[in-house]
Amino acid sequence: MMRIRCTFRPQAWVNDNAIDVDPEGPTNWDMNVETLPDPNSHESDELRNDPAAPVWAQNWHGPFEVDFELV
């Protein structure tokens, strides 16, 4: 099992482009995974549903990205 640190990046649509916006709270959490998800994929987006993710990030309604790194 691998341990990763996730970073939630909230975004908003501006002129049909998703741009980063200020977060509403903490943006980082650590979690264990069996396999690494593909970066910038639907699979990595699902990381925000981890119970350790900030609740506000789990409930974000706009565009977003979830970055991660091995720890």
pLDDT at 40: 84
pLDDT at 10: 98
Q: How many residues does the chain have?
A: 71
Number of H helices, E strands in the chain: 2, 4
* DSSP 8-state class, residue 46: G
Quick check: pTM over 0.75?
Answer: yes
Average pLDDT over residues 47-59: 97
pLDDT at 30: 98
pLDDT digits (tens, 9 = 90+) for 1-44: 999 999 999 999 999 999 999 999 999 999 999 999 999 889 99
Does the pLDDT of residue 50 top 90, yes or no? yes
Helix (H, G, I), strand (E, B) or coil at 49: helix
